[in-house]
Amino acid sequence: MVKRAAFLWLAVAAAVIPSGCSDDEEAPPAARVEDEGEPLEFLRTFPASTSGGLRAETKAVVKDAKGWEALWAKANEHLAPVPKAPAIDFAKGMAAVFACGERKTGGWSVEIVGARKAGGKTRILYAVRAPAEGAVASQAVTMPWHAVVLPRSDDPVEWVEYRARKN
């Protein structure tokens, strides 16, 4: 009886727990902006975080040390002491930061998934992943954010939400 109860519990847990993030929506059949232009390689990628101090949606490109240090401090204000901002050679690069803002549960994540040079613009692609509908998620406020370093450019920046294609 105990083995059967344990098995049933495991079966229920297996059905509920894997539903962390939702499937990405299918893109329209038309040409996708993330396929246009020339890909830009990241000079550096920082680990994405689900916690931080960026309470509002943030799409920022930072081209100087002072601005980077201020944004880094704000994003990490929940840590004590706030870690020093990683060094970036702003003569060669610029930091791109995306945050989806405050969310009322766990299970949210964001990622800057790519960048492209197209039509005289630097196009930064980001993804927001929500917990799957009906998923079990922690009841904790999260503020997911991600940062990368791109080759420096004075081109205007366009932020594009990336949605994976369904197979």
Q: How high is the pLDDT of residue 165?
A: 66
| Domain-located, residue 127 | yes
| Domain-located, residue 22 | no
- Encode 34-69: b = buried (16+ Cβ within 10 Å), e = exposed: beebeebeebeebeebbbbbbeeebebbbeeeeebe
| Domain-located, residue 92 | yes
| Domain-located, residue 8 | no
| Domain-located, residue 14 | no
Q: How high is the pLDDT of residue 35?
A: 77
| Domain-located, residue 80 | yes
The answer to whether residues 125 and 89 touch, using CB atoms and an 8 Å cutoff, is no
Q: Domain span at residue 76?
A: 31-161
Residue 37 dihedral angles phi and psi, to the nearest 5°: 80, -165
Q: How high is the pLDDT of residue 24?
A: 45
| Domain-located, residue 94 | yes
**pTM, to two decimals:** 0.78
| Domain-located, residue 25 | no
Count of structural domains within the chain: 1
**pLDDT tens track of the chain, all 167 residues?**
444 443 333 333 333 333 333 344 444 434 466 678 999 999 999 999 999 889 999 999 999 999 999 999 999 999 999 999 999 999 999 999 999 999 999 999 999 999 999 999 999 999 999 999 999 999 999 999 999 999 999 999 999 999 876 65
